[in-house]
Structure 1
Amino acid sequence: MAHPLSFEPPRVVVDISFWQELAAQKLDRMKLTTPRVPIVATMERPAPHSPASKDASRTSGQLRLTRSSFTHTSSTGEGGVATNDESGSSLLHEEWRGTLINVNTLEEFRSFDRKQLTDTVAAAIANGGAEGAAESDDYSSRRAAGDTAGGGGVRVRGLREMAPCGAGRVLVMLTFIDLKKYRVYYSIAFPVISPNPSYQHIDHQHLDQAMTAQDISAMMRQLKADHTTLKDGLFDVHVGGGNAGGAADGPWLGYVDSSTSAEAMGWGLRNVLFLLASKRRLYGRTIRILAFRDLRKVITHQADNEYRPSYQSSVYTVRFPPADAFTLPPPLSHDSRNGSSSARATCLGGWVRWPVADGHGQAPGHQQHKSTTVQQVNLCDYLDFTTIQANAVDLNVKLIKWRMVPQFDPERFNSMRFLLLGAGTLGCAIARALIAWGAKHITFVDSGNVAMSNPVRQSLFKHQDAAAEGGSGRPKVDAACEALREIRPDVDARGVVFEIPMPGHFDASAASAPSPSGSGAAASTSASIERSLHTLDELISEHDVVFMGTDSRESRWLPSFLIANKSWRAVRRQQQQQQQQTAGGGAAVGSEGEGGCGGVPLGITVALGFDSFLVLRHGYKDQSLACYFCNDLSAPRDTTSNRTLDQQCTVTRPGVSPMASALAVELLVTLSQHPHGFVADPSEKDTGSSDDSCLGACPHSIRGFIGGFRLVVGSSPQSPYCTCCSPAVHEAFEQNPIGMLTQVMHDPGHLESVSGLRVFMDKMSRVEEDVIQIDDEELCLL
């Protein structure tokens, strides 16, 4: 007895990698838009079962969505024709192409017009198939033509004209991903167009009942030689010898079927039959459909005599309804003649339903039923919490770009490597601000341990750090790195225990120690300075930005000097190259004399007073901006020895350090967004010009005065007599690096001589002697 033809929808499995990729695309591409994103799901065609198997699990294969669903492309040759994959591995997977729509709020997800969405897809299917001209010859004549051509045998012809319909395999996915709570809500549909009444299932037979063994072998050989047809999944089978079985018209329709159910065919066939009804005038006719399920036999090249015992294919006899059953309603038809009020064809949304247990698996606001079209996934159950936290931090930063500053490019900042000299009050605060902006590579340099007074002001330390080692405290760099990893587990934090050599801090014990070479204290001190110089220079070269947050003025001199030296060398090399090019030499100047130095980092100094602070970016390369020492009237000297208790502690208002540190990092982030980067000219106001940073002004220096709650921004030029960055100092260093530094460590006044500062100050003194001082009364008389 005839009954409606059944179709089996695929079972969907969404891999966790799919949601990870969707989250990444939401952050980097979609942002706050709602684009229609093409996706491809793949289904591994099921392995054949024995015909006698009573396994109740004989269902279609799983349709999988993975990370590659966003980037997957078919193996195609010229013109989009699938290539002949000799291994056949690609043929074991059928593709379902579709569209993903990701909305921005849960409310939008719940109120989305799902019917309009599936109707739109169905209309594209219907009108895409209608674009091809209907076949003018009577379909029943094809049977005779096929029989004649086949000479009583079997002939297989691929239906390349139906390839654009993708064998009817279409999917739609509606999603909302909450990147704050890491939950995903989604619905999946497989839209199909169905006539009303539907197709009638008259009969079905196993392949050996519908065809002879000789015809089966002939068909298999032809399919084995035509992987393109197998990939498309549609073909005609012209069967001769009168074994077509009764009243069926024309050649059989072959369909590579992923279903293994004896009672149902693959879901995508519904769209194929609807399109073929129009193209081949199948209204009211009866045809035979070969549900081809022996694909693995073909691609594994098994012998002909092995096909018969284990085939799974079946032949269905199907009657099409009359023509008016295929009339489309206006939303689905672009042809007004087809869009009549008497339309009977409908779009079946095909929304997948999942069982609901204990109220789980559905979006808030949906009533609990036995099944639901809305599935919910808690990504926290699957993802590493480190990954979740890293993505959450990235989201906070990227929201600036999405909502406030479209020109903002976070990658220009968070790809940088940061060196923090000093892991105290400033170093801790700077590190916290850096990771809040997404920094991932931070190195601390400090030689001290955590003291009992540190945790209340130095935000990365706890009492346990100070109480460790019998009360002597943990090394600051170790405690700081550990604390950063606890805050952001994916941060690359490194600690280096190192004491920076300082002008005027000559080690008397080293001077008194005997030297094997007999050269005495000088050789010992020079060797120590050489090792320290190499270590510090290497650290500076490995990083893009160096924050100088040590607690004495002289401890900032050597790193500031090495940073300035790298800029000085870079400018000198560039000048030499230009001179050679001008002279016609054209040869590039190498990096000899670099001493292992790599790139040129930016130096930023942060210094504190009792109720004031200074944030200053040093001049970069050929910029003529003052460094931290340019306005000094003397060289930095020992300010830490022989100090009383009040002088040993940094006496400053507790709020000064966090403010200064935050401004230092904000200045750097703003500078990173400037079109000219680190060489941006100083600016004191946000002009809004495209020539400036999208985040605002990039001042040279920021001075804060908490007593009056004032900020003063400004810039000052480089001093030609600076003891740190003047050309004369660097010329002397190039001639004898270790010798010069050794002398500076013994006698900081040497810097005043080399730089010319001492001569300059002497001249200023003589000028002051010649100045005639006039008091107010004398001025009034004049």
Structure 2
Amino acid sequence: MSLIVQFTPFSSTVHPSFWHALTQFKLDVLKLDAPSVPIRASYSAGKTVVDRETGKEVGLGCHLLLGEDAFDLDAKPAKHAVSIRGTLINFNTIEEFKSSDKTALFNTVTDKLWSTVSSGSISSSPDTQLNTFLLITFADLKKYKYYYWFAFPAFMASPLWEISEAGWGMAEDVLGGEGLEGVWEGLTALETEGGAEGAWLVKKGKNGCEVGRVDQWEEFFKDVPEQNQVVAFLDPSATHNPGWPLRNLLSHLRALHPSRPSAFNILCWRDSERPLAGKRWASRYGRISLPGAAGQAQGKRPAAVGWERNVQGKLGPKLADLAPMMDPTRLANQAVDLNLKLMRWRILPDLDLDRISSTRCLLLGAGTLGCYVARTLMGWGVRTITLVDSGRVSFSNPVRQPLFDFEDCLDGGKPKAACAAEHLRKIFPGVNARGVEMTIPMPGHPIPPSEVGKVKQTVKDLEELYDTHDAVFLLMDSRESRWLPTVLGTTKNKYVLNAALGFDTYLVMRHGAREGPAPPPEAGDHPQHARLGCYYCNDIVAPSDSLTDRTLDQMCTVTRPGLAPIAASTAVELLVSMVQHPLGIHAPPSAGKDDDDRHSVLGAVPHQLRGYLARFNSIPITGAAYERCTGCSDIAVKEYEKEGFNMVQRACDETGYLEQLTGLKDLYDESDAVMEAVEWDGDDAEGDF
């Protein structure tokens, strides 16, 4: 029983570079004209890939490729590919594109093609090819959108072609491996001579297979039995059915031999390279015929089809939107997060990238730690970064602080915060980076009467920065400069990350949160934990002036060069782990590998990490909040909420104020009383050792 032959239609593949070429052609050549423009495209043998899960071969379609060289009519196609000429019509408005008489345009191209198909010969000449295409377009150059519709004219046989009961089998089973090897060698030679152009003849003999030109039919097949006569074509299809070019080849053969019975042995050539050892040739073979047809009337053009369907499977145009690719900022916006998106494929499918990118980060300090923290935040996709600093870039900075260069040090140096933000925007224009020049008031550093108004405004501005950000990094040089930011972070219940450096040691910690609302239902059951402490919870003395009367090595943070990047990256990773935890800022401290119920999707969420570069290790530590802490205790926080700037001013101006406020003074008095009550042994006088 014979079956109707099905053909796989062409599917257009347009490289973005073609639209760039069309844009220039429109601007420089076409302007307001809309003539028919000759262009070229190409196709090659159909390809398949092996599905990793099923092990089955999957066809990659039947593609006609249009690239940036489409307007270069003399360009040569890739090896074992076929170049065909087509017609481009670019309309000036979308209305002209939609209302154009597509039937008339199609018939014009098809009539010209029929004159070639019905002629006695074909060759590599563009005027004597069996396939062509029509492309109508409208280019919206303001929005970089391109509307387009392809037509691949192909003639229909009446009655329809049928294939023998054997169907489309593997060519190797009929012609043998040696026969196909002969076809490969003959085709290579024919291509070198310029005589293949997508179709050729094959005859089977005792010595294998030989190859010849289609227009040499009579001479080539002289005295060759019909069963040994084969018509071959380069088949772009990768499905069970042959590709579109066979339709016009068959029409040409019928026109070439009108009195001959319409039956042919067809070789669908799908081998772009010799198969590897142990692999079979990909080409297919079948015998097709027209039932009861001895030929067709000469001169009469058969019906033709060929308009391409769109992505919805309907006859209609397609749209190529190049705006995301042609806008470098938007392109960068998509590309910078590639690493993060790849994480979610298999490693961390539950990673919430939107939660990270929407976290607004405030960096107090734009020095070595600040620069590295900012870069790592960008690597995690954070889009809002504000840096605060009062200093200027000095010549010692660029080698240690990666957001500065030599030019930033000239003429007294640029303001650090603004300069760092500018470099962040140069690295990635899509980041919302801002620099703020600000001197934060510090305990032990009295405020001159003339500066009270200015400092009061500074405190107000700092509060506003806290209100507009979600996470705060304390990255300053001195101990006392972290006091007010600690009080504000606890007052406003923000994520607060603290990083501090020694010579070869570092501290990274998150400050504990104030008592907050009940955890959300999706947080599940998590063990309760004591409120976590802040940077000052282990101290029994209030922060005071540590900057006066210092030598050069005391004025500069002297550390091993690799320490700051380690500490900065650790601080950012700690923030991201907290953000990914269901409880967020209230995440319980976790450090070991076994307490998974406390982990986020990224793993542990420790309270503190103390790193020792000399030993190349770090130790997680958990510390509870101290009720008399000068930075986060309820006493200090409530006093700030009540008094505001007045509390800050007293902390700066009055020695012992914070100790008196929080009860540390009582602790000192109690300690002194205990010491006075001790009965010392008089025999232990100095010198009796």
TM-score interval, normalised by the smaller of the two chains:
0.5 to 0.7
Give the distance between the partners of 1:381 and 1:724, measured in 2 at CA. Answer: 48
Pairwise CA distance, 1:627:
0.7
Distance change (3 Å), C-alpha of 1:675 and 1:258: farther
Q: C-alpha offsets along residues 616-670 of structure 1, whole Å, 9 cap, x if unaligned?
A: 1011232711011111111111111232323222222222212111111111122
1:404 aligns with 2:347: yes
Q: Does the aligned pair in 1 maintain the 2:11–2:63 contact within 8 Å?
A: no
Task: Name the counterpart of 1:426.
Answer: 369
Corresponding residue for 2:509?
616
Work out the CA distance in 2 between the residues paired with 1:531 and 1:461. 29
Aligned residue for 2:587?
Answer: 680
For residues 87-117 of structure 1, what are the alpha-carbon distances to aligned partners after superposition, in whole Å with 9 as ceiling and x for unaligned?
xxxxxxxxxxxxxx99999xx9xx9956x56
Using the TM superposition, give the Cα deviation of residue 770 of structure 1 relative to its aligned residue in structure 2, in angstroms.
5.0
Q: Flag the 1:10–1:676 CA change in 2: closer, same or farther, 3 A.
A: closer
SS of structure 2 residue aligned to 1:261: helix
1:44-83 pair list within 5 angstroms: none
Encode CA deviations 1:210-269: one digit per residue, 9 max, x unaligned.
Answer: xxxxxxxxxxxxxxxxxxxxx9xxxxxxxxxxxxxxxxxxxxxxx989824374699xxx
Shift in alpha-carbon separation, 1:15–1:736, aligned structure 2, 3 A: same
SS in 2 for 1:459: coil
- How has the CA–CA distance of structure 1 residues 683 and 441 changed in structure 2, closer, same or farther, with 3 Å as cutoff? same
The residue type equivalent to 2:341 in the other structure is: K
Q: Is the 8 A contact 2:487 2:636 kept in 1?
A: no
Deviation at 1:422, TM superposition (A): 0.5
Aligned with residue 108 of structure 2, among 256, 261, 264: 261
Match of 2:243 in 1: 349
Give the secondary structure class of the aligned counterpart of 1:348: coil
1:454-486 Cα deviation digits (max 9, x unpaired): 2222222222212x21xx211111221222223
Equivalent of residue 741 in structure 1, options 644, 648, 661: 648
Output the CA distance in 2 between the equivalents of 1:102 and 1:724.
Answer: 66
Task: Count the aligned residue pairs.
Answer: 432
The Cα shift of 1:738 comes to 2.4
Equivalence for 2:255: none
Partner residue, 1:483: 423
Distance 2:357 2:64 in 1: 33
Structure 1 residue 535 displacement after superposition: 0.5
Secondary structure of 2:596's counterpart equals coil
Mapping for residues 27-426 of structure 1, pairs under 5 Å: 116=59, 259-261=106-108, 263=110, 320-321=158-159, 329=167, 347-350=241-244, 383-426=326-369
Alignment-derived partner of residue 312 in structure 2: none
1:736 positional shift? 2.0
SS of equivalent to 2:611: strand
Q: Give 1:387 shift.
A: 4.1
Partner of 1:593: none
Cα contact 1:8–1:259 (8 A) shared by 2: no
CA distance change for structure 1 residues 350 and 756 in 2, over 3 Å: closer, same or farther?
A: farther
CA distance in 2 between counterparts of 1:104 and 1:443 reads 50
- Structure 1 residues 757 and 10: alpha-carbon distance in aligned structure 2, compared to 1, 3 A threshold: closer
**Matching of residue 706 in structure 1 with residue 632 in structure 2:** no
Q: Residue type matched to 2:626 in 1?
A: S
1:708 Cα deviation after fit = 3.0
Tell whether the 8 Å contact from 1:629 to 1:723 is kept in structure 2 after alignment.
Answer: yes
1:443 partner SS: strand
What is the rounded CA distance, in whole Å, between the counterparts of 2:429 and 2:110 in structure 1? 54
State which of 471, 475, 480 in structure 2 corresponds to 1:549: 475
Counterpart among 519, 541, 559 of residue 485 in structure 2? 559
Match among 615, 618, 628 for residue 535 of structure 2: 628
Is the 8 Å Cα contact of residues 11 and 64 (structure 2) preserved in structure 1? no
In the alignment, does 2:667 pair up with 1:760?
yes
Match of 1:725 among 621, 632, 636: 632
CA distance in 2, matches of 1:602, 1:102: 52
Please say if residues 508 and 567 of structure 2, whose CA atoms lie closer than 8 Å, have aligned partners that are also in contact.
Answer: yes
Shift of 1:721: 0.4
The CA deviation at 1:533 is: 1.2
Matched, 1:538 2:464: yes
- Any conservation in 2 of the 1:58–1:260 contact (CA below 8 Å)? no
1:693 aligns with one of 591, 596, 600: 600
Taking only the aligned residue pairs, the percentage that are identical comes to: 38
Is the 1:675–1:691 Cα contact (8 Å) retained in structure 2? Answer: no
Which amino acid in the other structure matches residue 556 of structure 1? R
For residues 575-621 of structure 1, what are the alpha-carbon distances to aligned partners after superposition, in whole Å with 9 as ceiling and x for unaligned? xxxxxxxxxxxxxxxxxxxxxxxxxx211111111221111101123
Letter in 2 for 1:540: Y
Quote the Cα distance in structure 2 between the aligned partners of 1:550 and 1:386.
Answer: 32
Is contact 1:430-1:665 (8 Å) kept?
yes
Q: Which residue identity does 1:321 align to in structure 2? A: P
- Deviation of 1:431 (Å): 1.1
Contact 1:8 1:265 in 2 (8 A): no
Distance 1:732 1:543 in 2: 23
Provide the C-alpha distance between the structure 2 equivalents of 1:17 and 1:703, rounded to a whole number of angstroms: 57
Amino acid at match of 2:593: D
Aligned to 2:414: 474
In structure 2, what is the Cα distance between the partners aligned to 1:666 and 1:396? 15
Q: Which moved more, 1:716-725 or 1:737-746?
A: 737-746
Amino acid at match of 1:498: M
Q: In the superposition, relative to structure 1, how do residues 654 and 11 fare at CA in structure 2: closer, same or farther (>3 Å)?
A: closer
Amino acid at match of 2:392: N
Distance 1:560 1:265, change over 3 A: farther
Cα-to-partner distance string for 1:512-542 (whole Å, 9 max, x where unaligned): x4xxxxxxxxxx62x3332111100011111
Decide which of 645, 664, 668 is 2:571's aligned counterpart: 664
Deviations 1:185-214 (A, max 9, x none): xxxxxxxxxxxxxxxxxxxxxxxxxxxxxx
Change in CA separation of 1:366 and 1:501 when aligned onto 2, cut-off 3 Å: farther
Q: Tell me how far 1:675 sits from its aligned partner.
A: 2.1
**Which of 422, 430, 447 is the matching residue for 1:507?**
447
TM-score normalized with structure 1 length:
0.48
Could you tell me which amino acid in structure 1 is paired with residue 398 of structure 2?
P
CA 1:631 to 1:323, structure 2 compared with 1: closer, same or farther past 3 Å? closer
Residue 557 of structure 2 aligns with which residue? Answer: 650
* CA positional deviation for 1:325: 6.1
Measure, in 2, the Cα distance between the counterparts of 1:563 and 1:17: 55
Q: Deviations over 1:143-191 (max 9, x none)?
A: xxxxxxxxxxxxxxxxxxxxxxxxxxxx88999xxxxxxxxxxxxxxxx
**Which residue is equivalent to 1:452?**
395
List per-residue Cα deviations over 1:337-395 (Å, max 9, x = no partner).
xxxxxxxx98333489xxxxxxxxxxxx989xxxxxxxxx9x99963444444433211
Instruction: Supply the distance in 2 between the matched residues of 1:547 and 1:610 (Cα, whole angstroms).
Output: 21
Displacement of 1:12 in angstroms is 6.3
CA distance in 2 between partners of 1:318 and 1:710 (Å): 76
Structure 2's unaligned 5+ residue stretches are 1-6, 21-33, 42-46, 67-97, 114-154, 170-238, 247-271, 275-319, 516-529, 682-689
1:750 corresponds to:
657
Report the AA paired with residue 476 of structure 1: K
Amino acid at match of 1:675: P
Structure 1 pair 736–261 and aligned structure 2 pair: CA distance change class (3 A): same
Letter in 1 for 2:497: I
Q: Distance in 1 between matches of 2:602 and 2:430?
A: 27
Query: How far apart in 2 are the matches of 1:773 and 1:366?
Result: 99
* Change in 2 beyond 3 A, CA 1:324/1:550: closer
Residue type of the alignment partner of 2:579: S
Return the offset for 1:501.
0.9
